[in-house]
Amino acid sequence: MDELFPFIIAKYNYWASLILLFIGLYGMIAKNNLMKKIIGMVIFQTAILLFYVSIGVKRGGTIPILEFGADHQPLLDATAYANPLPHVLMLTAIVVGVGTLGVALTILQKIQRVHGTIEEDEVLEDLRQ
């Protein structure tokens, strides 16, 4: 136990996002209710967002907006700012995530309207008849 704890602490950002990722994947595979599958998908997406943002953190680095000194010149030291690239990638990914979530909820509404249920096995049963 004394060895395991520092092992987890050293990489706890990866542990947190990977555990969230597998919770989401389990929800997507194992749950029977389609709404719960969508919730699993959203947890999965959030885990990936967390993973990327945690990669961009630098010790001692502030947000990637340039600071200006007394002489009105920006401080151009890359170690003073967090990595901007993961933030850019995740900014667009969040909005596209909202788009995919909207389409998923729409298809769910349509399934509910046609089959009268959002339980996967009942939908499959309805399709076979």
Partner 1 sequence: MKRLTLIILAACALIMLLAASDLPDWADPASPASSHLSPGFVEQAYEATHTPNVVTAVLADYRGYDTMFETVVVFLAALIIMIILRRTPHRRFCKILPHRPQRQGRDTVLKGAAQLIIPVMQVFALYVLGHGHYSPGGGFQGGVIFGASFILLALCYNLEFTINRFRERIVLLCCAGGALLYAGVGALCLAMGWNFLGYAALAGILGVSEAMARSHGILLVEVGVGITVMAVMVSIYYDLASGGDMREGL
Task: Give min distance, CB of 10 to partner 1, in A.
Answer: 6
Find the helix packing angle between 120-128 and 84-115, rounded to 10°. Answer: 50
Task: Give min distance, CB of 14 to partner 1, in A.
Answer: 4
CB nearer to partner 1: pick between 108 and 126: 108
Q: Which residues contact 100 (CB under 8 A, 6 or more apart)?
A: 41
Task: Give min distance, CB of 84 to partner 1, in A.
Answer: 4
CB nearer to partner 1: pick between 9 and 127: 9
What gap in Å lies between CA 66 and CA 63, rounded to an integer? 8
CB nearer to partner 1: pick between 87 and 126: 87
CB nearer to partner 1: pick between 64 and 126: 64
- What one-character-per-residue DSSP string does 69-90 give? -TTS-B---GGGB--HHHHHHH
DSSP 8-state assignment for residue 107: H
* Cα 81 from chain centre: 23
Which residue ranges make up the site for partner 1 (CB under 8 A)?
Answer: 7, 10-15, 18-19, 22, 25-26, 29-30, 54-61, 63-66, 68, 74, 76-79, 81, 83-88, 91-92, 94-96, 98-100, 102-103, 105-107, 109-110, 113
Task: Give min distance, CB of 129 to partner 1, in A.
Answer: 23
Comparing CA positions, the residue from 50, 49, 52, 47 lying closest to residue 24 is: 47
